[in-house]
Amino acid sequence: MIYKIFRTPEWDALRADGSTTGAPVDRADGYIHFSGPDTVAETAARHFAGEDGLWLIACEEAALGPNLRWEPSRGGTDFPHLYAPLRLDQVAWAQPLPLVDGTHVFPAGSGIA
């Protein structure tokens, strides 16, 4: 599984429209940023610190096809990038990502601490 964090309006738009080109940062960069299971908690802490109203979206890599590429970040860690719109039918599951005492709490059973 790979993961995307959306703000509620972004998740609502994907559900309403059936596809998305991502958040403003995704559109600016020309691809949709995802995280792996070992980097998504850091992504939440770094890029969504203090934000409530988030959703954790999970996708099977194979469902995203050849437009998904793992590429190194500025820090050298490989991250998955989707060079195509994300379709709602490619989402395996979505769960709220609540903020509790300043920390995002990942869904039980997701394997993410």
Q: What is the pLDDT of residues 63-79, one digit of tens each?
A: 999 999 999 987 888 99
pTM for the full model?
0.93
- Rounded Cα distance, 19 and 68, in Å: 16
- Which residue segment(s) compose the domain that 27 sits in? 2-101
State the CATH number of the domain containing residue 88. 3.20.170.20
Provide the residue count of the chain. 113
User: Which one-letter amino acid corresponds to residue 16?
Assistant: A
Please state the rounded mean pLDDT for residues 22-33. 96
- Rounded Cα distance, 22 and 4, in Å: 9
- Rounded Cα distance, 63 and 84, in Å: 12
Flag whether 108 is in a domain.
Answer: no
Flag whether 41 is in a domain.
Answer: yes
Does pLDDT of 113 surpass 70? no
- Rounded Cα distance, 26 and 76, in Å: 19
Flag whether 111 is in a domain.
Answer: no
Total domains in the chain come to 1
